[in-house]
Amino acid sequence: MTETTTAHGTGGPAGRGPAAAGTPASTTFASLSLVPKAAARQSMKDFKSDQEVRWCPGCGDYAILAAVQGFMPELGVAKENIVFVSGIGCSSRFPYYMNTYGMHSIHGRAPAIATGLATSRQDLSVWVVTGDGDALSIGGNHLIHALRRNVNLKILLFNNRIYGLTKGQYSPTSEIGKITKSTPMGSLDVPFNPVSLALGAEASFVARTVDSDRKHLTEVLRQAAAHPGTALVEIYQNCNIFNDGAFEALKDQQQAEEAVIRLEHGQPIRFGPDRAKGVVRDPATGDLQVVEVTPDNEAQVLIHDAHSASPTTAFALSRLADPDTLHHTPIGVFRSVDRPVYDTLMAGQLDTAVEQNGKGDLAALMAGGDTWTVIG
């Protein structure tokens, strides 16, 4: 996918959620221990840039922007030490609207660029904003390698299951059979499940949330920000122009009860009206299934363990959702485990090298072993 030069919708509301001004920096973020603290309390306003937001009116990106701007003060770090890096696509315009440092780079490469920045500057809080096409199609390689390395990056993957900026072609998360401009007879590709993909790529933190649920979105951001290492947050985002209502099943009051499974660490995985349904393990296959909870099987309902060393159950949870109806879609933190952080390890090797060999001496390096001298 390449970007069209066509200007897209301008104007529109600058964020729809309630302004969370002056949230106190009460949470401790282990991942930010090397990032300088803000000198004074920061508010949502401090994180709004002077640029006019140019997403289409009604785009789900507005809600995410507002939630992120609202959450940022909570980090408690100096905003000049926060960097947003993006690729190409509608979501990738995000950095322009954040009054932090930012780079709007090229298609799919944001994780690579952010890796260079994060591994060379541990005093920064580095965020990647990407979309389903950017992260999973043209940039798939960079995404999986960032995840396996566990660089201290927070990756926000806006998944609208469509290409927006090039005006409506199917994406790697579009449901099979999707009718679009490039697939008039329906798309043939099996979609990626970003959460499954991330878990397979050795991700240490994987979560899913929804653009319209500000509270849930903010809570997931909070946990992602606190995670030392790469955090992947898939955000279901509505493209009201090219794929409107893609996540309606998860948003509609009636349907959502059936469709959404809210994961909370340490809690039984139950959902539905009166939490009548639950997730249990099928003793025959080891796979997960949804059942009506009865007094007989209540004890079998799975307790969500996001910190499990094995990603197996998290993966099984990620497969519960029906890709067509989205029924039984878990949201929340699937996996959050401690694993050595790449940039910390890299810095550690530099320190070890100095301990072992002393600080680099250029003259000695250049001289090497065998030299001879010519005397005038």
Partner 1 sequence: MTSKVSSTTEQADGADGALVGGQRKPAGTKDVRRLDRVIIRFAGDSGDGMQLTGDRFTSETASFGNDLSTLPNFPAEIRAPAGTLPGVSSFQLHFADHDILTPGDAPDVLVAMNPAALKANVGDLPRGAEIIVNTDEFTRRAMQKVGYAVSPLEDGSLDGYQIHPVPLTTLTVEALKEFALSRKEAERSKNMFALGLLSWMYHRPTEGTERFLRTKFAKKPDIAAANIAAFRAGWNFGETTEDFAVSYEVAPAATAFPTGTYRNISGNLALSYGLVAASRQAELPLYLGSYPITPASDILHELSKHKNFGVRTFQAEDEIAGIGAALGAAFGGSLAVTTTSGPGVALKSETIGLAVSLELPLLIVDIQRGGPSTGLPTKTEQADLLQAMYGRNGEAPVPVIAPRTPADCFQAALEAARIALVYRTPVFLLSDGYLANGSEPWRIPELEELPDLRVEFAQGPNHTLDDGTQAFWPYKRDPQTLARPWAVPGTPGLEHRIGGIEKQDGTGNISYDPANHDFMVRTRQAKIDNIAVADLEVDDPGNTARTLVLGWGSTYGPITAAVRRLRTAGEHIAQAHLRHLNPFPKNLGTVLAAYDKVVIPEMNLGQLATLIRAKYLVDADSYNQVNGMPFKAEQLATALKEAIDD
- Residue in 284, 283, 288, 300 with CA at minimum distance from that of residue 328: 288
Q: Which stretch in 105-113, 244-252, 304-312, 328-336 sits in contact with partner 1 by CB under 8 A?
A: 105-113
What's the closest the beta carbon of residue 194 comes to partner 1, in angstroms? 18
**Structure tokens of 299?**
């004890």
**Structure tokens of 341?**
């952080």
Interhelix angle 60-75/214-226, rounded to 10 degrees, is 50
Single residue of 63, 75, 90, 113 touching partner 1 by CB under 8 A: 113
What's the closest the beta carbon of residue 53 comes to partner 1, in angstroms? 12
Counting contacts by CB under 8 A, is residue 254 touching partner 1?
Answer: no
Q: Tell me how far apart the alpha carbons of residues 369 and 257 are, in angstroms, rounded to a whole number.
A: 73
Q: Tell me how far apart the alpha carbons of residues 287 and 285 are, in angstroms, rounded to a whole number.
A: 5
Nearer to partner 1, 106 or 226 (CB): 106
Nearer to partner 1, 283 or 368 (CB): 368
Single residue of 8, 121, 270, 281 touching partner 1 by CB under 8 A: 121
Alpha helices for 5-91 (secondary structure H): 60-75
What's the closest the beta carbon of residue 190 comes to partner 1, in angstroms? 24
Interhelix angle 110-120/342-357, rounded to 10 degrees, is 40
Q: CB under 8 Å to 269, separation ≥6 — which residues? A: 261, 263, 278, 279, 301, 302, 303, 304, 317, 330
Question: Segment 175-204, which members bind partner 1 (CB under 8 A)?
Answer: none
What's the closest the beta carbon of residue 309 comes to partner 1, in angstroms? 25
Question: Segment 206-245, which members bind partner 1 (CB under 8 A)?
Answer: none
Cβ atoms of 131 and 160 within 8 Å: the answer is yes
Q: Which amino acid is at 231?
A: A
Beta bridge partners of 236: 159, 210
Q: Tell me how far apart the alpha carbons of residues 341 and 238 are, in angstroms, rounded to a whole number.
A: 33
Angle at 125 between CA 121 and CA 126, to 5 degrees: 85
What's the closest the beta carbon of residue 366 comes to partner 1, in angstroms? 5
Q: Which stretch in 82-90, 171-179, 203-211, 294-302 sits in contact with partner 1 by CB under 8 A?
A: 82-90
Q: Which stretch in 13-21, 92-100, 167-175, 273-281 sits in contact with partner 1 by CB under 8 A?
A: 92-100
Cβ atoms of 35 and 25 within 8 Å: the answer is no
Counting contacts by CB under 8 A, is residue 8 touching partner 1?
Answer: no
Single residue of 10, 120, 312, 325 touching partner 1 by CB under 8 A: 120
Question: Based on the number of CB atoms within 10 Å of its own CB, is 308 exposed (0-12), middle (13-18) or buried (19 or more)?
Answer: middle
- Residue in 334, 158, 317 with CA at minimum distance from that of residue 237: 158
Site string for partner 1, 124-163 (x = CB under 8 A): x----------------xx--x------------------
Counting contacts by CB under 8 A, is residue 278 touching partner 1?
Answer: no
Number of residues that bind partner 1 (CB under 8 A): 66
Nearer to partner 1, 292 or 351 (CB): 351
- Residue in 154, 135, 157 with CA at minimum distance from that of residue 211: 157
Counting contacts by CB under 8 A, is residue 273 touching partner 1?
Answer: no
**Structure tokens of 336?**
């959050």
Nearer to partner 1, 90 or 210 (CB): 90
Single residue of 8, 104, 167, 222 touching partner 1 by CB under 8 A: 104
Counting contacts by CB under 8 A, is residue 106 touching partner 1?
Answer: yes
Question: Segment 347-376, which members bind partner 1 (CB under 8 A)?
Answer: 349-350, 352-354, 356-360, 362-363, 365-376
Counting contacts by CB under 8 A, is residue 309 touching partner 1?
Answer: no
- Residues lying near partner 1 in the complex (CB under 8 A): 5, 7, 36, 49, 51, 78-83, 85, 88, 95-96, 98-107, 109, 112-121, 123-124, 141-142, 145, 346, 349-350, 352-354, 356-360, 362-363, 365-376
